[in-house]
Amino acid sequence: MESIMAIIRTGLEGQTPEGAVRGKFSVSLFRRVRFSKGNLQYQASSDTWRFAEHQYDMIGAAAGNNTISGRESQEDWIDLFGWGTSGWNKPWPQGGKKYPYSTSIDDRWYGPAVNRDLTGDSSNYDWGVYNKISNGGNKEGMWRTLTKDEWVYLFNERRCEYRYVLAKVNDVFGMIIFADGYSHPAGVTGFQHVNKGLYGDRSPNVEDNAVSSEDWAKIEKAGAVFLPAAGCRFGTSVRGAGSYGGYWSATHSSAYYAYHVYFVGSGFCPVNYINRYDGFSVRLVQDN
């Protein structure tokens, strides 16, 4: 049985909130978070938000990410969103409703209309602040999106033996992020190229880190997050599903761009800016 000190040391202490993974992750010197148990998903016909059932689940190029019309009433779930599309309706000129299913390439339909982040007075543009997540506590204001600086700290500045690794989980390519003080489970094959691949140094080979669903259950229990490579959407065209992953931050770059994390098989970049109207994955966190 784990001692209390061992649990604290590995960042696994406390009761896990509904919809969250077990591990805790430092995102600054003084703040730790828990990640949601899956990517954010939305169904327009019922106006329902939820987390994917498994961390490796993704919709990719299936309907409705690539549905051409009728997105405002469709029953299919989507999981690629333009930046700041929580559904919050703030009147023009400051805002205007930011539809989760928007495929417009007009930047006015994404995030705050001025140069602001999804924080403070503009926090309602954040999917986790404004919305109830049906399997994540079902209350407003329980979740949020990491800022650009928090993503960078998570990957680069934590003093942990295990921070991240590119891998395949249940035959799905993506990135594993390890909780503070992660201890690899006994009997599970160790990872290669841990903490490698920053800015595409091309040292990783994801085929070296193939994880079965059985082994993933043990790794997840030990405190780990998996971000699947769910692709990106431009208009109604989804590209790179299964080979490219992009995850939004809450931080703007300009009136037209916002920051995100992206990764491919040869490496990743923890901070890059791109058009707000591009559709990327959202993985929310909860402060602890």
pLDDT bucket at 127, cuts 50 / 70 / 90: very high
Tell me what pLDDT residue 200 has.
64
Instruction: Judge whether residue 172 has pLDDT over 90.
Output: yes
Tell me what pLDDT residue 107 has.
85
Q: Which two tokens stand for residue 147?
A: 């800022």
Tell me what pLDDT residue 163 has.
97
Tell me what pLDDT residue 90 has.
78
How many domains does one find in the chain?
1
Specify the range with the lowest mean pLDDT, choosing from 166-175, 194-203, 261-270.
Answer: 194-203
What domain range is 32 assigned to?
1-288
Q: Across residues 130-157, what is the average pLDDT?
A: 98
Q: Are strands 25-26 and 267-275 parallel, antiparallel or unpaired?
A: unpaired
Tens-digit pLDDT profile for residues 57-66 = 999 999 889 8
Please measure the distance between the N-terminal and C-terminal CA atoms of the chain and give it in whole angstroms. Answer: 24
| Residue keyed to tokens 């993974």 | 21
Tens-digit pLDDT profile for residues 215-265 = 999 999 999 999 999 999 999 999 999 999 999 999 999 989 999 999 998
Contacts for 214 with CB less than 8 Å, ≥ 6 apart: none
Q: Across residues 161-185, what is the average pLDDT?
A: 96
Residues 177 and 121: their CA atoms lie apart, in Å, by 30
Q: Where are the beta strands (DSSP E) in the chain?
A: 25-26, 32-35, 40-43, 48-51, 77-78, 164-169, 172-178, 210-211, 224-228, 232-234, 237-239, 245-252, 257-264, 267-275, 285-287
